[in-house]
Structure 1
Amino acid sequence: MDSVSLIAQMSYAMALRALPGISTDNRCQVTLYQAKYAEGLAALTEQCDLRLLQSDKSLVNELTAHGYTIQQAQSVEVVNDLVVVLPTKNRLRTCGLIASAMLSLRSGGSMIMVCANTMGAKGYQNLMAELGGDVQVQCKSKCRMFKLHRSADFNTALAMRWQQAAAMQRVDTHGLMSQAGVFSWDRVDIGSQMLVDAVLHAGVRDIHGKGMDLCCGYGFLAVSLLARMHESMQQLHLVDSDGLALDCARRNSEVWQEKVKHHWLDATQEALPGFLDWIICNPPFHREFQQDMALGQAIVQRACAALRKGGVIYLVANRHLPYEKLMREHLSQLDAVDVRQGFKVLRGVR
Structure 2
Amino acid sequence: MKTPLFLPFTQEILPVPQTGEHLIAYGLQEVPETGWQPHLEIIQPWRPDYLKLSQAGFNTLPQVQEGQTYDGGLLLLDKHRKRNENRLLHLLMAVKAGGRVVVCGDKVSGAASLRKWAGQFVPAADSLSKNHAIVFWLRVPEKLDKSILAQRQNTGTRIDNRFETLPGMFSHGRIDTGSALLTRFMPDILEGAVADFGAGWGYLSACALENCPDITALDLYEADYDALQVARRNLANIPSSVLPGFHWQDLTREQPHQCYDTIISNPPFHEGRAADVSLGQAFIRCAARALKPNGKLLLVANRHLPYETILADCFRHSEHLAQENGFKIILAQP
Alignment TM-score, normalising by the size of structure 2: 0.92
**Superposed displacement of residue 39, structure 1:** 4.1
Q: Which SS does the other structure have where 2:135 is aligned? A: strand
**8 Å contact 2:9–2:16 — kept in the other structure?**
no
What is the letter of the counterpart of residue 208 of structure 2?
Answer: L
Change (3 A) 1:321 1:126: same
Q: Show CA shifts across 1:115-156 (max 9, x none).
A: 011222222122111221235222211011111111257563
Q: Show CA shifts across 1:16-66 (max 9, x none).
A: 5466377x8x622211112323343x12125xx321111111111111221
Aligned ranges 1:29-48 → 2 under 5 Å = 29-40=22-33, 42-46=34-38
What is the letter of the counterpart of residue 171 of structure 1?
Answer: R
Aligned ranges 1:327-338 → 2 under 5 Å = 327-338=311-322
Change (3 A) 1:15 1:340: farther
- 1:142 matched to 2:132: yes
Change (3 A) 1:70 1:135: same
Higher deviation after alignment, 319-328 or 10-19 = 10-19
Distance 1:259 1:159 in 2: 37
Aligned ranges 1:134-173 → 2 under 5 Å = 134-151=124-141, 154=144, 156-163=146-153, 165=154, 167=155, 171-173=158-160
1:346 paired residue number: 330
Q: Which SS does the other structure have where 2:104 is aligned? A: strand
Aligned ranges 1:1-350 → 2 under 5 Å = 1=1, 6=2, 9-15=3-9, 17=12, 20=15, 27-40=20-33, 42-46=34-38, 49-151=39-141, 154=144, 156-163=146-153, 165=154, 167=155, 171-173=158-160, 175-200=162-187, 203=188, 206-229=189-212, 231-254=213-236, 255=238, 256=240, 258-350=242-334
Distance 2:250 2:327 in 1: 25
Q: Show CA shifts across 1:170-216 (max 9, x none).
A: 6044621222211112110111111112223xx2xx21111101000
Number of residue pairs aligned between Structure 1 and Structure 2: 331
What is the letter of the counterpart of residue 268 of structure 2?
Answer: P
**Larger % of helix: which?**
1
**Superposed displacement of residue 273, structure 1:** 4.2
Distance 2:285 2:68 in 1: 42
Distance 1:145 1:88 in 2: 14
Alignment TM-score, normalising by the size of structure 1: 0.88
Distance 1:324 1:52 in 2: 39
**8 Å contact 2:24–2:40 — kept in the other structure?**
yes
Distance 1:128 1:34 in 2: 18
Q: Which runs of 5+ in 2 are unaligned?
A: none
Q: Which runs of 5+ in 1 are unaligned?
A: none
